Chains A and B, each alone.
Chain A
Amino acid sequence: MSSGVGYNDQTGAETAVEAGQETTPTTSSSGAAFGLFSADFKKNEDLKEMLESNKESLKLEAMKRVVGLISKGKNASELFPAVVKNVASKNIELKKLVYVYLVRYAEEQQDLALLSISTFQRALKDPNQFIRASALRVLSSIRVPIIVPIMMLAIKEAATDLSPYVRKTSAHAIQKLYSLDPDQKEQLIEVIEKLLKDKSTLVAGSVVVAFEEVCPDRIDLIHKNYRKLCNLLVDVEEWGQVVIISMLTRYARTQFTSPWKEDAVFDENNEKTFYDSDSEEKKGPTEAKPYMMDPDHRLLLRNTKPLLQSRNTAVVMSVAQLYWHLAPKHEVSVVTKSLVRLLRSHREVQYIVLQNIATMSIQRKGMFEPYMKSFYVRSTDPTHIKTLKLEILTNLANEANISTILREFQTYVKSQDKAFAAATIQAIGRCATNISEVTDTCLNGLVLLLSNRDETVVAESVVVIKKLLQTQPTQHSEIIKHMAKLFDNITVPMARASILWLMGEYCDRVPKIAPDVLRKMAKIFTTEEDIVKLQTVNLAAKLYLTNSKQTKLLTQYILNLGKYDQNYDIRDRTRFIRQLIVPSEKSGALNKYARRILLAPKPAPVLESAFKDRDRFQLGTLSHSLNVKASGYQELSDWPAVAPDPSVRNVEVIEPVKEWAPSLGKAKQPKSDAKFYSDDEEKEEEGSERSTSSEDDSSSSSSSNSDSGSEEESSEESEKTSSGSGGSSSGSEKSSSDAESEQRQKKKTKKRTRKPAASDSDSDENGNADQASSSATESSSESESDSGSDSPAPQKKAEANTQPKMAVKSKKEVSLLDLDDFSPVVTNAPKPSVISSSLLSDLEGLSLSNVSSAVQVTSPSFGPVKTYELLHHMTGKGLAAKYHFPRQPCLYQPSMVSVQVILTNNSDHALEEIHIGERSPASLNVHCFNTIERLEPGASVTVSMGVDFSDSTQAANFQLCTKEDQFGVSIQPAVGELLMPFTMTEADFSREQRNLQGMNETSATVTMATANTPRQAISKQVLSVANVGAVSSSQDNMLRFSGRTVSSKALLLVSLDLKDSSAVLLTINTEKTVMASMLLRDLTRALAQA
Chain B
Amino acid sequence: MIDSLFLINHSGDIFLEKHWKSVISRSVCDYFFEAKEKAVDPENVAPVLQTPHHYLISIYRDKIFFLSAIQTEVPPLFVIEFLHRVGDTFLDYFGECSETVIKDNVVIVYELLEEMLDNGFPLATESNVLKEMIKPPNILRSVVNTLTGGSNVGNTLPTGQLSNVPWRRAGVKYTNNEAYFDVIEEIDAILDKSGTTVFAEIQGVIEACVRLTGMPDLTLSFMNPRLLDDVSFHPCVRFKRWESERVLSFIPPDGNFTLMSYQVSSQNLVAIPVYVKQNISFLEAGSCGRLDITIGPKQTMGKTVEGLMVTVHMPKAVLTVNLTATQGTHTYDLATKVLVWDIGKLNPQKLPNLRGSLSMQPGAPKPEENPSLNIDLKIQQLAISGLKVSRLDMYGEKYKPFKGVKYLTKAGKFQVRT
Contact = CB atoms under 8 A, between A and B. Distances in A.
A713 B162 CA distance: 24
Nearest to B49: A626
A726 to B, nearest CB: 4
A380 interface: yes
A453 B368 contact: yes
A349 B14 contact: no
B381 interface: no
A341 to B, nearest CB: 5
Given A64-B107, A630-B55, A684-B164, A104 B76 contact: no
Contact of A622 (B76, B118, B194): B76
B226 interface: yes
B351 interface: no
B137 interface: no
Contact of A679 (B109, B240, B366): B240
B41 A352 contact: no
B335 interface: no
B194 to A, nearest CB: 4
A380 B266 contact: no
Interface stretch (B228-236, B322-330, B386-394): B228-236
A140 B146 CA distance: 33
B197 interface: yes
A411 B370 CA distance: 10
A370 to B, nearest CB: 9
B162 A453 contact: no
Contact of B413 (A70, A346, A378): A378
Contacts of B413: 378, 380
B232 A453 contact: no
Nearest to A619: B75
A199 to B, nearest CB: 13
Given A237-B166, A744-B229, A794 B80 contact: no
Nearest to B245: A729
Given A97-B107, A337-B230, A352-B80, A239 B72 contact: no
B154 to A, nearest CB: 8
A676 B244 contact: yes
Contacts of A104: 19, 23
B198 interface: yes
Interface string B242-283: 011100010000000010010101111100000000010000
Q: Which interface class (under 10, 10 to 19, 20 to 34, 35 or more) fits A?
A: 35 or more
A341 B263 contact: yes
B406 interface: no
B196 A137 contact: no
Contacts of B60: 347-348
Given A104-B23, A626-B50, A92 B122 contact: no
Nearest to B44: A382
Interface in B194-229: 194-199, 201, 203, 226, 229
Residue from A209, A347, A415, A679 whose CB has the most chain B CB atoms within 10 Å? A347
Interface string A216-241: 00000000000000000011011100
B81 A384 contact: no
- Chain B facing A: main interface SS: mixed
Interface string A307-334: 0011111101110000000000000000
B380 interface: no
B129 to A, nearest CB: 10
A725 B244 contact: yes
Nearest to A93: B151
Interface in B105-121: 106-107, 109-111, 114, 118-119, 121
Interface in B266-322: 266-269, 279, 284, 290, 313, 315-316
Nearest to B229: A743
Contacts of B238: 680
Q: Which interface class (under 10, 10 to 19, 20 to 34, 35 or more) fits B?
A: 35 or more
B106 A67 contact: yes
Contact of B235 (A141, A238, A626, A744): A238
Contacts of A416: 315-316, 367-369, 371
A349 B157 contact: no
B240 A246 contact: no
A351 interface: yes
B133 to A, nearest CB: 9
A896 interface: no
A1009 B284 CA distance: 15
Contact of A349 (B71, B77, B194, B199): B77
Given A73-B26, A741-B265, A239 B233 contact: no
B80 A100 contact: no
A71 B18 contact: yes
B164 A71 contact: no
A380 B119 contact: no
Contact of B76 (A352, A384, A787): A352
A68 B108 CA distance: 10
Interface string A592-627: 000000000000000000000000000011110110
Interface in B13-29: 14-19, 21-23, 26
Contacts of B203: 344
A43 interface: no
A249 B10 CA distance: 40
A621 B73 contact: yes
B109 to A, nearest CB: 7
Given A378-B415, A382-B44, A741-B229, A318 B157 contact: no
Given A165-B162, A379-B313, A631-B71, A209 B244 contact: no
Interface stretch (A24-32, A169-177, A906-914, A1012-1020): A169-177
A128 B156 CA distance: 11
Contacts of A454: 368
Contacts of A209: 1, 121
A165 B121 contact: no
Given A351-B46, A628-B50, A791-B195, A56 B229 contact: no
B44 A384 contact: yes
Given A378-B415, A634-B73, A791 B196 contact: yes
A373 interface: yes
A71 B71 contact: no
A414 interface: yes
Nearest to B258: A311
10 contacts: A60-B149, A71-B18, A239-B121, A242-B75, A311-B232, A379-B415, A630-B73, A743-B266, A791-B195, A1088-B279
A349 B80 contact: yes
Nearest to B46: A384
A52 B124 CA distance: 33
B80 A622 contact: no
B125 interface: yes
A622 B74 contact: yes
Contacts of A687: 164
A318 to B, nearest CB: 6
Contacts of B313: 379-380
A1047 interface: no
Nearest to B262: A341
Given A311-B234, A791-B196, A688 B164 contact: yes
Contacts of B190: 376, 378
A741 B232 contact: no
A478 interface: no
A825 interface: yes
A373 B72 contact: no
A625 B265 contact: no
Contacts of A453: 365-366, 368
B77 A722 contact: no
A60 B151 contact: yes
B368 A72 contact: no
A691 B18 CA distance: 34
A751 interface: yes
B249 to A, nearest CB: 7
Residue from A130, A351, A744 whose CB has the most chain B CB atoms within 10 Å? A744
A179 interface: yes
Contact of B78 (A165, A235, A237, A239): A239
Contacts of B161: 165, 202
B153 interface: yes
